[in-house]
Each structure stands twice: as structure tokens, then as C-alpha cells.
Amino acid sequence: DAFKDAQIEITVVTGALDEKLNEHGYIVPGLGDAGDRLYGVV
């Protein structure tokens, strides 16, 4: 709300590193097949 109230136009970019992939190359825990999510396959 503070950014909105200040009426400043900004871009916020966040990121994270995943600890590991499973034997199928899926992100563990959670997202699964990132390529499918990125390209809307599922």
C-alpha cells in the first residue's frame, strides 16, 4: 500500500533458488514441471 499511496511507478522483481530437483527434473517441493507452468501446458 505504501508504494501505491506514494504514486511512484516502479517494477518489483523477486526471485528464489530451489534446493533440488527430483529424479524427473521437477522442482521439489512444490511447483512441479516449471516448463509446463511457464508455457501453459497444464
Per-residue pLDDT at 42: 65
- What Cα–Cα distance (Å) separates residue 25 from each residue in 12, 13, 28, 39? 29, 25, 9, 16
Per-residue pLDDT at 13: 86
Per-residue pLDDT at 32: 64
Residue spans per domain, the chain: 18-42
> Is the pLDDT reported for residue 5 higher than 80?
yes
Separation of first and last alpha carbons in the chain: 33
Write the pLDDT tens digit of every residue in 11-42: 888 888 878 888 877 777 776 677 777 787 76
